[in-house]
């Protein structure tokens, strides 16, 4: 498995908002629950103490009137609660054993003090109130059920937790929408920068309503204007220089050819100098032609001059023309016929330059094959050679202008052949790459859009 990708910025912002809201909600829930619990229990305890004292006073009066049994039986005990009198002579009135109440509460009441304590009995929670009736040396203990109070507290805490969850969801949604709104200008900048990188130098950002964003837009547009101006100035300079050099180069080439035609009349040392001159003039002329071609490519990125033909037959003839001394057969993985619809002139320039590159640096191509492309809409042309190959760190750089691989650094050439291959390939919507050939050597792969169906 590859390394885990970091979440998008909008996702991180939304999760941050949601987490903050959740933590705040949980904190508020804890504080609210604690306050509500203390308040409800205080109210419950106050009411229970008041009721217990009233019933203890009623029992004290009943002792004076000798009606304890009748009064105790008629006490208005809450549903679910129970009471205990500890005086021995009325023990038969006790429905619950006195041991039901906590020992600490009973001990406190026996010492003549009133007391209260929560306790559990038979799985239920109670509040015990104990009152000592000193005149008759007896203790009145009453248990008040806390089930209703606990139910109310459960409702409160569930409501608070649901509210916290909803608040977290709302905060997450708010954080997502807000971050998207804040990042939208950056997305527009990225899109415009991508268009400029693809060659649309006139791509610009629309003015923004916000002053801060408008400053970003203006700065980006100014930068794009400066980049476009510089690139166009350099392109014009290259084109102008190439055009200006064309005439003197033509004259020099003609003069060199005249001298070369009369080389038999020249001394040996002069003939050697003439060979160097002719070779360099021809190289110079080829470089100027290539520069002019690159200038035309920059002026028109995509071609509309499309031709329909069979790639297998066409490529076989192109290879035969380029490598007359040791022509190689074209093998097709897609069958004997591969109909395509591309710019034939550009494709001939691409294949011709790759075959010439193999001829100069590797003694010629050793195999040419037509393969399936990365998608059904593409077809691949693979050209192999048995030369020194291309170092991994140079496989992208060799398609730049005037760039040379380390293996070809001391060979004669303009350094523009593969750059023209890359420009022509991009102009027809394809791509070119270099890699190793199994067994040694270089392999160049050109992927082209076929723009028509394949037939086998």
pLDDT tens sequence across 188-247: 787 888 887 776 777 888 887 777 777 878 888 888 888 878 877 766 766 666 666 667
Q: What pLDDT, on the 0 to 100 scale, is given for residue 5?
A: 62
Taking the CA of residue 117 as centre, how many other CA atoms within 13 Å lie in the half-sphere pointing to its CB?
Answer: 18
Residue with tokens 């305890």: 45
In this structure, what token pair is assigned to residue 74? Answer: 């008629």
Q: Are 134 and 112 in contact, with CB atoms under 8 Å apart?
A: yes
How far is the C-alpha of 141 from the C-alpha of 375, rounded, in Å? 88
- Write out pLDDT tens, residues 426-438: 888 888 998 888 8
> What is the side-by-side order of every strand in the sheet holding 378-385?
330-332, 365-372, 378-385, 442-449, 431-436
> Which of 337, 341, 25 lies closest to 163 in space, CA to CA?
25
Fold of 211-299: Helix Hairpins (1.10.287)
- Write out pLDDT tens, residues 295-316: 666 555 445 577 888 888 988 8
How far is the C-alpha of 95 from the C-alpha of 373, rounded, in Å? 93
How far is the C-alpha of 357 from the C-alpha of 369, rounded, in Å? 17
- Write out pLDDT tens, residues 259-294: 777 777 778 888 778 777 777 777 766 666 666 666
DSSP of 176-208: HHHHHHHHHHHHHHHHHHHHHHTT-TT--PPP-
CATH number listed for the domain at residues 307-449: 3.30.565.10
CA distances from 288 to 170, 242, 278 (A): 65, 6, 15
Q: What pLDDT, on the 0 to 100 scale, is given for residue 382?
A: 92
Q: How confident is the model at residue 451 (pLDDT cuts 50, 70, 90)?
A: low
% of the chain with per-residue pLDDT over 90? 3
Domain 9-153 has CATH 2.60.40.420: no
In this structure, what token pair is assigned to residue 8? Answer: 């998008």
User: Residue ranges of the domains in the chain?
Assistant: 9-153, 211-299, 307-449
């Amino acid at each position: 498995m590859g390394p885990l990708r970091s979440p998008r910025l909008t996702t991180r912002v939304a999760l941050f908002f949601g987490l903050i809201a959740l933590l705040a909600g949980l904190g508020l829930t804890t504080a609210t629950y604690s306050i509500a619990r203390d308040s409800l229990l205080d109210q419950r305890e106050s009411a229970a103490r008041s009721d217990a004292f009233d019933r203890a006073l009623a029992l004290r009066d009943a002792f004076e009137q000798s009606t304890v049994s009748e009064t105790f039986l008629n006490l208005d005990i809450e549903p679910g609660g129970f009471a205990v009198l500890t005086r021995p002579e009325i023990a038969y009135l006790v429905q619950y054993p006195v041991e039901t109440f906590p020992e600490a509460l009973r001990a406190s009441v026996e010492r003549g003090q009133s007391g209260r304590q929560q306790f559990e009995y038979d799985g239920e929670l109670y509040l015990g109130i104990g009152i000592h009736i000193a005149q008759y040396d007896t203790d009145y203990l009453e248990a008040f059920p806390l089930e209703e109070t606990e139910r109310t507290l459960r409702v409160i805490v569930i409501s608070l937790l649901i509210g916290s969850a909803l608040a977290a969801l709302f905060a997450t949604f708010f954080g997502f929408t807000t971050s998207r709104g804040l990042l939208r200008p950056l997305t527009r900048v990225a899109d415009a920068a991508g268009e400029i990188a693809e060659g649309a130098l006139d791509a610009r950002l629309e003015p923004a309503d916000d002053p801060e964003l408008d400053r970003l837009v203006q700065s980006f547009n100014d930068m794009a204007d400066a980049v476009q101006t510089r690139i166009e100035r350099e392109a014009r300079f290259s084109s102008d220089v190439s055009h200006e050099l064309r005439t003197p180069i033509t004259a020099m080439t003609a003069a060199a050819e005249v001298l070369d035609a009369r080389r038999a009349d020249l001394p040996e040392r002069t003939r050697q100098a003439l060979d160097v001159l002719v070779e360099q003039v021809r190289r110079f002329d080829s470089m100027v032609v290539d520069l002019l071609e690159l200038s035309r490519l920059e002026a028109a990125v995509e071609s509309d001059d499309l031709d329909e033909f069979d790639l297998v037959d066409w490529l076989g003839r192109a290879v035969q023309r380029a490598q007359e001394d040791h022509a190689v057969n074209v093998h097709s993985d897609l069958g004997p016929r591969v109909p395509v619809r591309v710019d034939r002139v550009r494709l001939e320039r691409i294949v011709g330059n790759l075959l010439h590159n193999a001829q100069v640096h590797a003694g010629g191509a050793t195999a040419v094959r037509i393969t399936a492309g990365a998608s059904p809409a593409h077809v691949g042309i693979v050209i192999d050679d048995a030369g020194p190959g291309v170092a991994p760190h140079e496989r992208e750089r060799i398609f730049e202008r005037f760039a040379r691989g380390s293996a070809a650094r001391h060979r004669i050439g303009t350094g523009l052949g593969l750059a023209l291959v890359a420009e022509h390939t991009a102009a027809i919507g394809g791509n070119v790459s270099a890699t190793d050939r199994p067994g040694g050597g270089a392999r160049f792969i050109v992927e082209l859009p076929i723009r028509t169906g394949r037939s086998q």
